[in-house]
Structure 1
Amino acid sequence: MFDSPVPALDVGSVPGDGYLLDVREHDEWQAGHAPGAVHIPLHELAQRAGEVPREQQVYVVCRSGGRSAQAVRALNDAGWQAANVTGGMQAWALAGREMTSENEADPQVI
């Protein structure tokens, strides 16, 4: 059986006030992430899905788009409206979108 493609959009289409869910690991998050994003690592999503609002569109991001595509498929199968951010945080950084870090260093995508 073939998996259907997940809904996706480019980084420039993610609204500044949208619900951005970052599913990367803790070290990736700490190195650099979008301001206002919510961090739930992919391996914790099943247990923490209740923290993700069902009443609004969810934009899911990881480093390059693979893990976020898995998260989007799982969320949509469970009744959420989610879309994958194409190219992930690598594309986010290349597009010059704002980033912050959890340490004193300049934000970066690792």
Structure 2
Amino acid sequence: SLGIRPDVLTYTAIISGFCQISDMVEAGKLFHEMVSRGLEPDSFTFTELINGYCKAGQMKDAFMVHNHMILAGCSPNVVTYTTLIDGLCKEGDLDSANDLIHEMWKIGLQP
């Protein structure tokens, strides 16, 4: 109402808040709103959303965000990968977790 537009940092903070209370529907909506307004998520934004989906046990959604991150030209970092690995381990998918560890090594990241 004051003509102030939220920036990436503002959106990320609110997305993070929704993720912390496990409201992934609202976190996802806000993420899509941010992108539709022409703002480019950074690695922190993507990783916060991935973390929220992992904690909610929504690994398919976490990997969709991971793929979006890569397609957007934003490189996943150690935190992104360890978040996904942790989520996979909690789901009991140790083979996929191991695959991600090897993927990290291939691109020069140390878990």
TM-score, structure 1 length as denominator? 0.35
Higher strand share: 1
Higher relative contact order (CA 8 A, sep 6+): 1
Greater gyration radius: 2
Higher helix share: 2
